[in-house]
């Protein structure tokens, strides 16, 4: 039985969709915290980053725009991090919490491959609709398992590097080097993942036999 062809959106479309979320959710909070930290100290930095996050949520509510679930989760996470950071009075405690969480996520990625339920597949389905016949194909299942292993390795590398920088360098160096390095590594991993998936889809399309022509009427 033949299946309809399927293709991912263009790379430029994916980048255009992801860039605003990356800037708002990752780059901007770091910039806000460091600027306020340099001028006002730790407490000022914590207050500033909380104001940024909840200000973004309030702006969406005022304009009657939907608030993404990931933004709500991020707000709760930053609130907890800020509370611990303020309580201990240490920026190390503030920054090390997400790195430890990332290590836990990497372990979950590895466990999901062992359980044959790769997490990258579930995360992909949150953003891109994939037909059932694509998900059932053995080649696609192997792809998601391997990509999940790749991302587990990427997360572990990013967290290990970030913790080392946090413990051995100044806050400014940590933010600059860590943000740049994580952005480069993650961009390369995303690009490789998309290109590899496009290759898998092309192979699926090549393996799909064309529909049989109808026999001429007697």
Closest Cα to residue 152, out of 91, 110, 182, 189?
110
24 & 122 share domain: no
**Given this model, what pLDDT does residue 150 score?**
93
- Same domain (yes/no): 112, 190: yes
Domain encompassing residue 19? 8-89
Q: What is the per-residue pLDDT for 121?
A: 78
Q: Show pLDDT as tens, one digit a residue, over the chain (218 residues).
A: 445 555 555 656 666 666 676 676 667 777 888 788 888 887 888 888 889 888 988 888 898 887 765 677 677 777 887 888 788 878 788 888 888 878 888 898 899 888 888 888 777 665 566 666 666 777 778 888 899 999 999 999 999 999 999 899 888 888 888 888 888 898 898 888 888 888 887 877 666 655 554 445 44
Closest CA to 146 of 198, 181, 197, 202: 197
- In the prediction, which pLDDT does 77 show? 74
* Domain end position, chosen among 89, 123, 143: 89
pLDDT computed for residue 130 by the predictor: 66
Q: Which of 125, 113, 102 is nearest to 150 (CA)?
A: 113
3-state DSSP assignment of residue 25? helix
Global confidence as pTM: 0.65
Q: CA-CA distances (angstroms) from residue 32 to 16, 17, 27, 203?
A: 23, 23, 9, 46
Q: How many folded domains does the chain comprise?
A: 2
pLDDT score at 214: 43
**pLDDT for residue 2:** 47
pLDDT of residue 212: 53
Residue 136 lies in a domain: yes
Q: What is the pLDDT of residue 87?
A: 85
Q: Of the candidates 57, 89, 121, which is a domain's last residue?
A: 89
């Amino acid at each position: 039985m033949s299946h309809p062809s399927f293709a991912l959106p263009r790379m430029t479309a994916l980048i255009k969709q992801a860039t605003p979320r990356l800037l708002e959710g990752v780059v901007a909070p770091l910039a806000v915290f460091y600027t306020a930290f340099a001028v006002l100290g730790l407490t000022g930095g914590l207050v500033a980053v909380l104001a940024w996050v909840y200000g973004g949520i309030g702006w969406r509510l005022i304009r009657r725009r939907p608030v993404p679930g990931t933004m709500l989760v991020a707000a709760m996470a930053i609130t907890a991090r800020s509370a611990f950071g303020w309580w201990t009075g240490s920026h190390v405690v503030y920054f090390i919490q997400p790195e430890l969480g990332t290590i836990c996520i990497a372990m979950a990625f590895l466990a999901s491959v062992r359980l044959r339920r790769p997490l990258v597949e579930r995360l992909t389905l949150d953003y891109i609709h994939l037909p059932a016949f694509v998900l059932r194909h053995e080649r696609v299942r192997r792809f998601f398992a391997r990509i999940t292993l790749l991302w587990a390795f990427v997360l572990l590398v990013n967290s290990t590097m970030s913790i080392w920088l946090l413990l051995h360098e100044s806050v400014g160096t940590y933010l600059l080097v860590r943000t740049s390095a994580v952005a480069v590594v993650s961009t390369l991993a995303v690009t490789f993942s998309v290109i590899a998936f496009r290759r898998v889809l092309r192979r699926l399309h090549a393996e799909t036999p064309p529909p049989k022509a109808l026999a001429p009427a007697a």
